[in-house]
Chain A
């Protein structure tokens, strides 16, 4: 695909898609914590099983999962390499000058690699199966208690969802401007550093100009439709827990019970 697609929403009707975003967000958070507290090595079995189950239930094609995790692979690799090189306990299995890799290092690298991978794929799965609007709505509702402390939760949520909404618009315009500047002999990938800096300016200024133009237009359009924000705003899509959410909560609760039991038993 010739556009950015880290965890971009994939339309679907699977149980995971239909779940309430609040449930998905909380479940994902709990899962992320569990992936780190689960005792190695056997505790990782339920962790991976839960992930596999969630991915299977989401019916997101594995091709898309792989693509979404492509950029994340870098972090996993970084974690693995750091662990390989930093841990010096145990017996050495390989060495290259002052770089020593020990058996304990290998084990901890693998374990930590699996944990980080599980964490990132869980996050990716939520964004793959939840619309950006769903995520902001869910976050807003989860954070709504903070509104009592004076945090403008609703406004923040509106800002975030507008920002997300404009990513494709701005990236499309950016692409056109890049093409146009490249046609004027200004490609980002050639020339000296000074010249590249000038090329970047020729892209940044139009980007800001178009962001401001959109902001003005949208502001007017929202005002024309009497947007005031603040308290008392109702939602078009009212979030409500349904049977699929109950099932999801049951599965995740069972999983958490297993992991906690294993952690306590150790």
Chain B
């Protein structure tokens, strides 16, 4: 279900007054896409997330979810039902006495019976890699930080949203838990769910997103594929953003005489393959397997170098 922004303006001091969190933003999130929204603190990316799931309504312009503008009552209700919202530090929304009850809260509110809600909760817990049998009766306040974040995610997924908007879903987690959350999002995307991930970690965005939107001062400064957006390093730097680690390393290597065929590598895996390809026939197996493979050939030669696994960012 596509989500479109048409000349959306939003200000925290009400229409027409004060500074604008978003100023004339237009963009399209296609059905089934994985979109990364990047921007410096205060660039309006959280506001964009809240508008996309109809938690806020635009002062001017329209947000259209699945053909219905969120300004209409019906459109808003449908959007809230279909677009899951994962706030920053979502574990702060946990409140019930048991994990099961908390995860079932959404389905119950949508009118599911107790049994239906419970089975939706079990399913959602499995989706986020938690064992329902072990945890469904535990108190959410007894879990570790990473587990609590997973439970909160499950609470959103139990409503079976067709799209999910996650605001800095990895903030404040240790590297392993971070990777876990990214894996969940990738898995969801693989199941056909549209994912919008707000992040300021360029490596995460490069590893997962098919479409990147960069914001600065409430305006879209770049909108396109990761390769397109991250090729504009200078503009991003002016907006307080950076390019992924791999692209930075590749640029430094290029300055020392390495020549990269095709697009600049954006993940460490892609970079490793590109460097290996340059290292010549004496290099180990990666280059032997695909001697001339550019970084854009997304079929990795070895299983552990599966493209976009994000292992570079997390481990």
Question: B-contacting residues of A (Cβ < 8 Å)?
Answer: 1-2, 173, 176-177, 179-186, 195, 201-206, 209-210
Contact = CB atoms under 8 A, between A and B. Distances in A.
Given A177-B93, A206-B92, A209-B141, A183 B80 contact: yes
A205 B110 CA distance: 21
Contacts of B110: 185
Interface residues of B, number: 28
Interface string B108-141: 0110000000000000000000000000000001
25 contacts: A1-B13, A2-B12, A177-B92, A179-B50, A179-B85, A180-B87, A181-B93, A183-B80, A183-B84, A183-B156, A184-B105, A184-B109, A185-B80, A185-B81, A185-B109, A185-B159, A186-B109, A202-B93, A202-B96, A202-B105, A205-B96, A206-B94, A209-B92, A209-B141, A210-B92
Contact of A182 (B55, B95, B155): B55
Contacts of B93: 177, 180-181, 184, 202, 206
Query: Among the interface residues B80, B84, B87, B88, which one has the most CB atoms of the partner chain A within 10 A?
Result: B87
Contacts of A205: 94-96
B105 A186 contact: yes
B55 A179 contact: yes
Interface string B163-193: 0000000000000000000000000000000
Query: Among the interface residues A1, A182, A183, A186, which one has the most CB atoms of the partner chain B within 10 A?
Result: A183
A186 B155 CA distance: 12
B106 interface: yes
B106 A185 contact: yes
A206 B156 CA distance: 16
B19 to A, nearest CB: 13
A184 B107 CA distance: 8
B53 interface: yes
Nearest to A183: B85
B13 A180 contact: no
A184 B87 contact: no
Contacts of A185: 80-81, 106, 109-110, 159
Contact of B55 (A183, A195, A209): A183
B88 to A, nearest CB: 7
A235 to B, nearest CB: 33
Interface string B50-63: 10010100000000
A179 B80 CA distance: 10
A179 B84 CA distance: 11
Nearest to B93: A180
A180 B55 CA distance: 8
A175 B95 CA distance: 15
A14 to B, nearest CB: 22
Nearest to A186: B109
Nearest to B88: A176
A173 B87 CA distance: 10
B244 interface: no
A251 to B, nearest CB: 34
Contacts of B257: none
Nearest to B109: A185
A5 to B, nearest CB: 11
Nearest to A182: B55
A1 B109 CA distance: 30
